[in-house]
Structure 1
Amino acid sequence: MFDDIKTFFAELTSGGKSPTRFEPDDYRLAAAALMVHVATLDANLSETERAKLHTLLETRFGLDAADTDALIDAAVAADREAVDFYQFTRLLMRSLDEEGRRKVVAMMWQMVFADGDVTEFEDNVMWRVADLLAVPNRDRIELRRQIAAGRDPLDEPT
């Protein structure tokens, strides 16, 4: 209990979340769970998809390898327990601005394309999640087009 109190005050005074603890209200966990979901629609998380997920999370959230592995494990568990996307999208809507939500959709598209194939189920999930995140259809389609062409819209200036 003392450690929990100490962690709480450390997070409060540092102004940020601890990268080693991914609580249910952490937007990084919500984003990672959505990415896991689209990556596993056609099967289990393959080694190629897991490597892509690891790279995206480590790079975009500034985590080290161990913290990224912990986030992936937490995201897999959160996705397994979720009954719908709303718990994740609601948190992302509260936590991120429009550009942040657009970046989540871009990362999800990168996961969809990690295996080189887009199924109609993946496309449908992308449409539904983007809609719940208030990302306009034109942005969702443009992000898909850019990623399919091998460009990373997250590295391009906005």
Structure 2
Amino acid sequence: MLQALKSLFQVPTEPHERISYQRAVAALMMEVIMADDEVNEKEIIQMKDFLKGVTDLGDDVDMLFEEAKSGIKEANDLYQFTKVINDNASLDQKMALLIGLWRVAFADGDVDAYEDHRIRSISDLLFMPHSEFIQAKLIAQKEMQK
């Protein structure tokens, strides 16, 4: 009985699967897509286009999309993904990601309050100033209106 109780408090010895940079980016984008509980095909297309532009995955983007979709359901928080971005991305790359997140939100023609909140949370976790958050939103909005 005592041994079983002790085992509950032991740190697991096997390392957790490391989240790749691409998977972290895809997961954050999926968070925005799923924020309003409506998965729109235009948002998915926007996400895949962004991933193709910032990775060298090509057709493997579909597989990354499916991994992100299932991974988000299992995720407890956004920190595990934003930590990977913070450890690996420059300020310019983080700004490009924020613009990409906004493109996804604008893709269906309506930015839901939940999408806005989710991007704001991600921006905060990426240590981006509020001015960069707003600038990314305005850039994406202008691009999507063309």
Question: Taking structure 2 as the reference length, what is the TM-score of the superposition?
Answer: 0.81
Contact 1:36 1:45 in 2 (8 A): no
**Residue type at the aligned position of 1:37:** E
Deviations 1:114-157 (A, max 9, x none): 11111111111111110110111101101101111126xxxxxx
Match of 2:35 in 1: 41
117-126 vs 38-47, which deviates more? 38-47
- Gap runs ≥5 in structure 2: 1-16
1:28 aligns with 2:22: yes
What are the residue-to-residue correspondences of 1:65-76 with 2, within 5 Å?
Answer: 65=59, 67-76=60-69
The unaligned stretches of length 5 or more in structure 1 are 1-22, 152-158
Match of 2:10 in 1: none
Q: What is aligned with 2:129? A: 136
CA distance in 1, matches of 2:44, 2:115: 17
Query: 1:112 maps to what in 2?
Result: 105
Structure 1 outlier segments of 4+, above 6 Å: none
Structure number with the bigger relative contact order (C-alpha 8 A, sep ≥ 6) is 2
The root-mean-square deviation of aligned C-alpha atoms, in Å, is 1.7
Write the letter of the residue equivalent to 1:55. D
Taking the aligned partners of 2:58 and 2:21, their CA distance within structure 1 comes to 17
Find the aligned partners of 1:45 and 1:112 in 2 and give their Cα distance.
11
Q: CA deviation at 1:99?
A: 1.5
Q: TM-score, normalised by structure 1?
A: 0.75
Q: How far 1:43 sits from its partner (Å)?
A: 2.7
State the identity as a percent: 30
Which structure is larger by alpha-carbon Rg, 1 or 2? 2
Deviation at residue 102 of structure 1 after TM alignment = 1.6
Structure 2: distance between partners of 1:127 and 1:90 = 16
Distance 1:149 1:108 in 2: 14
- Structure-2 residue corresponding to 1:84: 77
Structure 2 counterpart SS, 1:83 = coil
Contact 2:29 2:47 in 1 (8 A): yes
> Matched residue pairs, number?
129
